[in-house]
Amino acid sequence: MYTMTSSSQPAKLWVKTQTFHTSPPQGFDLVLGGKLKQLEVAYETYGTLNHDKSNAILICSPLTTDAHAAGWNSEEDKKPGWWDEMIGPSKAIDTNRYFVIAQNMLGGCKGTTGPASINPDTGKPYGSSFLKITVEDMVHVQRLLVEHLGIDVLEAVVGGSMGGMQALQWSVSYPDKVRKCMCIAAAASLSAQALGFEIIGRKAIVNDPDYREGDYYVNGSPPEKGLAYARMIGHLTYLSAISMRQKFGRNQRPNTDREHFETGFEVESYLNHQGEQFVQRFDANSYLHITYAMDTFDLASRYGSLENAFRDSQAEFLLVGLSSDWLFPTEQTHELAKVLLNLKKVASVAELDSPYGHDAFLLEVEHLSRVLQGFLEKPTYSAKAAATLHPSEKSVLDSTRDLDALAGFIKPGSHILDVGCGDGAFIDRMFHQSKVTGVGIDFDLSHVVDCLRKNVPVVQGDVDHGLSLFGDQVFDYAVLNRTLQEVKRPRLVLREVLRVARKAVVAFPNFGHIGNRLSLTFTGAMPITKALPHSWHDTPNIHLFSLNDFQELCARENIVIEELICFPGSLPSRLILAAGFKNAGAEFVVAKISRKR
Which sequence positions are flagged as catalytic?
A: 161, 325, 358
Shortest Cβ distance from residue 597 to a copy of itself (Å)? 23
Stretch of 117-125, 157-165, 235-243, 562-570 lying at the interface with a copy of itself (CB under 8 A): 235-243
Q: Is 129 in the site for a copy of itself (CB under 8 A)?
A: no
Q: How far is the CB of 72 from a copy of itself (least distance, A)?
A: 33
Closest CA to 43 of 135, 134, 141, 155: 141
Q: How many CB atoms lie within 10 A of CB 7?
A: 7
Q: Is 442 exposed, middle or buried (0-12, 13-18, 19+ CB in 10 A)?
A: buried
Read off the amino acid at residue 290: I
Q: Give whole-number Cα distances, 356 to 230, 243, 323, 363, 424, in Å.
A: 21, 5, 9, 8, 29
250 binds a copy of itself (CB under 8 A): yes
207 near a copy of itself, rule: CB under 8 A: yes
Q: Does 490 bind a copy of itself (CB under 8 A)?
A: yes
Pairing of strands 35-36, 28-29: antiparallel
Instruction: Tell which residue, 24, 31, 206, 36, has the closest CA to residue 129.
Output: 36
Asked if residue 479 lies in contact with residue 454, where contact means CB atoms within 8 angstroms, the answer is no
Which one of 177-185, 266-274, 423-431, 438-446 is the stretch in contact with a copy of itself (CB under 8 A)? Answer: 266-274
Binding mask 506-545 toward a copy of itself (x if CB under 8 A, else -) reads -----xx---xxx-xx-xxxx--------xxxxx--xxxx
Minimum distance between the CB of residue 266 and a copy of itself, rounded to whole angstroms?
8
Q: CA dist 392 to 339, 377, 388, 397, Å?
A: 38, 21, 12, 9
Q: Is residue 218 near a copy of itself by the rule CB under 8 A?
A: no
- For a copy of itself, the binding residues in 79-108 under the rule CB under 8 A are none
Among 301, 399, 558, 570, binds a copy of itself (CB under 8 A): 301
Does residue 216 belong to the site contacting a copy of itself (CB under 8 A)? no
| C-alpha span between 324 and 353 (Å, rounded) | 7
552 is a contact residue toward a copy of itself (CB under 8 A): yes
Among 2, 248, 303, 443, binds a copy of itself (CB under 8 A): 248
- Residue 482 in the binding site for a copy of itself (CB under 8 A): no
Least distance in angstroms from the C-beta of 403 to a copy of itself: 25
Stretch that binds a copy of itself, among 10-18, 156-164, 173-181, 264-272 (CB under 8 A): 264-272
Q: Which of 140, 202, 345, 447 binds a copy of itself (CB under 8 A)?
A: 202
In the list 236, 445, 561, 564, the residue contacting a copy of itself (rule: CB under 8 A) is 236
Could you tell me if 336 and 187 are in contact, meaning their C-beta atoms sit under 8 angstroms apart? yes
For 23-28, the CB contacts below 8 A with 24+ separation are: 24/144, 28/140, 28/141, 28/144
Q: What is the distance between the alpha carbons of residues 153 and 144, in angstroms, rounded to a whole number? A: 12
DSSP state letters, 479-493: EEES-GGGSS-HHHH
Rounded to 10 degrees, the C-alpha dihedral 407/411/414/416 comes to -30
Segment lying near a copy of itself (by CB under 8 A), choices 206-214, 428-436, 497-505, 564-572: 206-214
User: What's the closest the beta carbon of residue 31 comes to a copy of itself, in angstroms?
Assistant: 15
Instruction: State the amino acid at position 540 in one-letter form.
Output: P
* DSSP assignment string, 425-453: HHHHHHHHHH--EEEEEES-HHHHHHHHH
Select from 288, 299, 425, 505 the one that contacts a copy of itself (CB under 8 A): 288
Burial profile 226-247: b = 16 or more Cβ within 10 angstroms, e = fewer:
bbbbbbbbbebbbbbeebeeee
Please pick, from the candidates 49, 195, 343, 560, the single residue that binds a copy of itself as defined by CB under 8 A: 195
In angstroms, the CA 64 to CA 104 distance is: 9
Cβ atoms of 448 and 430 within 8 Å: the answer is no
Q: How far is the CB of 59 from a copy of itself (least distance, A)?
A: 27
558 is a site residue for a copy of itself (CB under 8 A) = no
Q: Which of residues 335-374 bind a copy of itself (CB under 8 A)?
A: none
- 253 in Cβ contact with 163 (< 8 Å): no
Is residue 191 close enough to count as binding a copy of itself by CB under 8 A?
yes
Nearest approach, Cβ of residue 29 and a copy of itself (Å): 20
**Residue 390 beta carbon to a copy of itself: minimum distance, rounded to whole angstroms:** 44
Count of Cβ atoms closer than 10 Å to residue 162 Cβ:
26
* Member of 106, 109, 165, 190 binding a copy of itself (CB under 8 A): 190
Number of residues that bind a copy of itself (CB under 8 A): 78
Least distance from a copy of itself to the Cβ atom of residue 195, Å: 5
By CB under 8 A, residue 239 contacts a copy of itself: yes
Q: Contacts with a copy of itself in 398-427 (CB under 8 A)?
A: none
Q: Does 389 bind a copy of itself (CB under 8 A)?
A: no
